[in-house]
Structure 1
């Protein structure tokens, strides 16, 4: 977890009006107590009124509120349009996670913008001329594996091939083409980078053990090895 993400998480916990000790925070975020001390100082430097109660822990000053996020009408419209594009990906996990996230975001829309966004939602339709009724349900989990460098085991079926092969992979990046998500990963079976269509992954398992980053660069990959997901 980055320092920024941890600071936001600490602020969220403090907003719940809980009294938190440095030791509790250190254990929760798996960092040292010294790191928590630095985080608290960062919050204080940013103007967050953290109160230190000697011998008991930290809390927020009574009455402190974080300013609500405000969206313009154009920003709200962009999010509504993005949802229609996301729905074309045919990955159930990604569509559901985006839908839940957008519901939370829409909860802070002003009522006037919310009404207009609902109107716009009913006036958008995206045609898919290359429709293929094959869906996947792995994208959201694989995204986590990419950012946390977790090995993934998959059962994979190539196009026009009934045989299913077992692969242990190191996921590095993904891209979308023709409404299909393509995963780029180091394949231990082939001992090289391979492209896998996520909707052709029959079964997957995210492993707890992690791999060492090979410093994969997506632009360099495209230059040397164009799309070959099958």
Structure 2
């Protein structure tokens, strides 16, 4: 779990009026007590009134409330439209993650916005004329690998090739082309940046080891490197 996700989770627990100890939190998130101390300081620095009760634990200041997020009708419409576009990615886990996130977002829509968003949802159709029906189930995992600088091992099969090759890569970015997600990574086999279609990755393993960022720049990549699937 990332620090941001852990901070949000801790805040959610504190909002439930529970009294939480550092030991309890460390055990729940499988981190050290020192890490929890740092997390609490982060919340305090962000203006969250966390109260420390000596010898007992942490709680939120009495009466503290987080203002609910309000979406305009245009913002809600943008999310509903994005839902239809995401459904064309053919990546099972990413689509599921997006749907779950959108369900949480919809829960804070005002009633009037909810009704209109349901009308719009039934009024959009995205056509896909790509008849290569290959799905994937890795996009969400590769997003985490990119942001956390994790090495990835993959078994990859190029188009029109029956051979599957093993690669160790440093994932840096991805883009969508014809409803296909393309991962750009440093490939140790080729000793260069290469592009991999995510739906052609047969197996992958996110490693715990992290790499040093090569200061990859996506814009410069497109200016200097053609699509290389190797």
CA RMSD of aligned residues (A): 2.3
Structure 1 length-normalised TM: 0.88
Corresponding residue for 1:114?
A: 114
1:174 aligns with 2:174: yes
The question of whether the paired residues in 2 share the 8 Å contact of 1:173 and 1:218 is answered with: yes
The aligned runs of 1:182-201 (5 Å cut-off) are 182-201=182-201
The aligned runs of 1:143-222 (5 Å cut-off) are 143-222=143-222
Corresponding residue for 2:96?
A: 96
Corresponding residue for 2:84?
A: 84
1:42 aligns with 2:45: yes
Alpha carbons of structure 1 residues 40 and 211: separation in structure 2 relative to 1, 3 Å? closer
Corresponding residue for 1:105?
A: 105
Q: Aligned partners of 1:114, 1:67: CA distance in 2, in Å?
A: 19
Deviation at 1:34, TM superposition (A): 6.1
Deviation at 1:164, TM superposition (A): 0.7
Q: Aligned partners of 1:37, 1:100: CA distance in 2, in Å?
A: 28
Gapped regions of structure 1 (runs ≥ 5): none
The question of whether the paired residues in 2 share the 8 Å contact of 1:26 and 1:36 is answered with: no
Deviations for 1:187-213, whole angstroms, at most 9, x for unmatched residues?
A: 111111110000111111111221121
The question of whether the paired residues in 2 share the 8 Å contact of 1:170 and 1:187 is answered with: yes
The question of whether the paired residues in 1 share the 8 Å contact of 2:149 and 2:210 is answered with: yes
Deviation at 1:41, TM superposition (A): 3.6
Q: Aligned partners of 1:49, 1:155: CA distance in 2, in Å?
A: 49
Deviations for 1:83-138, whole angstroms, at most 9, x for unmatched residues?
A: 00101111111111101110111111111111110110011001123342111111
Corresponding residue for 1:60?
A: 60
Alpha carbons of structure 1 residues 165 and 58: separation in structure 2 relative to 1, 3 Å? same
Gapped regions of structure 2 (runs ≥ 5): none
The question of whether the paired residues in 1 share the 8 Å contact of 2:7 and 2:39 is answered with: no
The residue matched to 2:133 in structure 1 has which SS?
coil
Deviation at 1:36, TM superposition (A): 4.6
Structure 2 length-normalised TM: 0.88
Q: Aligned partners of 1:123, 1:90: CA distance in 2, in Å?
A: 21
Q: Aligned partners of 1:227, 1:186: CA distance in 2, in Å?
A: 13
